[in-house]
Structure 1
Amino acid sequence: MSTLEIKDLHVSVAAEDGAKEILRGVDLTIRGGETHAIMGPNGSGKSTLAYAIAGHPKYEITGGEVLLDGEDVLAMSVDERARAGLFLAMQYPVEVPGVSMANFLRSAATAVRGEAPKLRTWVKEVKGAMSELDIDPDFADRSVNEGFSGGEKKRHEVLQLSLLKPKIAVLDETDSGLDVDALRVVSQGVNRYRAAGDVGVLLITHYTRILKYITPDVVHVFAGGRIVESGGADLANELEENGYVKYGAGAEAAS
């Protein structure tokens, strides 16, 4: 069972008037089998946390640690983080013209697993995963995310999750842009993967609607670049009812 430890993490991003600190001391531990939801207002630093964990070059780590099973994640390249078991489902998945989904997925699986999956087994595995997510088989021959709807892009992200089998999955606003049917299918895909192993999930969202399908063990309120409150699943309902008014000062500081 894996553990992701984030200790006093500080992150800055370049701005016109110099570096701007976004994360101001984040402390968070996610263990295999746990699902943590992070909620907070716009500009509070939620996506910055996701990209910092994944290794996006735009974000400069100015202090703190990120450890996966005791190993220093911040010393790893992006591909090393993926091979170590980290996965990021992006809020805005990018298009990759000229690269088919089939080639992309097999190349990614080969890189993460350390060897190419046997073709016959792999084809069966991909077809099964695509069927569970209601993805048309013809999409395997299409360029990655090119011309995909928002829902189709998010299903592809969860398809990657199910095939790459990470230890820790960071889902950055996976519910963004989804209609009710797509939200249900995507959530079921995440739940299937959660049930299949001891994956730890960090689910970043603005709204409680995805939490009606994916029940978190812990809900964290993010404001001003740090976690300001934590509680059980009922905390999300409180936020839905009352909003982030009482955290307003912290939210303004990070906007």
Structure 2
Amino acid sequence: MSELDRNLDTALDFVRDLEKRQSGKSAFEIANLMRRHTRPSYTETLFDLATLSQQPHLDNALDLTVSLAGQVTDFAHFVASLSDRLRLPSWVQWFDAATRWTGKHSSWAGDLGQAVMDYRNRKFPTLETALAADASFPDLVADVAAVQVGAELNRNSRLQVSESIEQFNDRSYEVSIRQFVQGELHGDLRGRVMFNYNDILGTVCESVAEFLMFVELKNIAKKRRVDANLLKLSEVYHPDVEQAASYFVEYIRKNGNLI
């Protein structure tokens, strides 16, 4: 057994123990408790809207690099993305619309958007190096896993978080990628062919542009002079956004064995 496999076993044992100690808690609540054991950056106050409460950082028990579905995966990143993906408890589902955007924008769209921002702010010499750092392959596996695991947990309230992670791990990553393309990106797959490739690319561009729009609106909120629709439209067709989207679509094309 490799070190990455052992790390996954360690993470799953931790989650199972947490579920046992917190018996009766929803998947949403368990994922938020898991978040406390990742990194300080994933428990900052900006995530309080999505988690409905403060999540103090306790330790780094789940800050592990693991093998998930045969892929090197940033498990802490997965936990943070999963936490934002899960449907809110029934008593606050009226609040779901206000937080739904966080799931996408704290995972793959946020990773791609962060790379664009860091490149524009000259933290990296090229967008390629920014993408390799902010949207690394271990991060993207975590994002795909969070979408798929989250979808299963949202469909089946009796399923435990640890069980859904195990199911994802046992499934071919190629299959999970294809499910991700169909469910998350509204892809029309016919055999191995991404029949609506341009639409898929456009969906990614729009999501990254939306992330950048939210960040920009936050930065200039005091001025109150910006048309959000115009701002988003200007970002969708920006070369940086298109390059970041192409990077991601090429990743899913390759790992999903798609054409």
Q: TM-score, normalising length from structure 2?
A: 0.26
Task: Indicate the structure whose relative CO is greater, using CA pairs within 8 Å and at least 6 residues apart.
Answer: 1
Normalised by the length of structure 1, the TM-score is: 0.26
Higher helix share: 2
More strand by share: 1
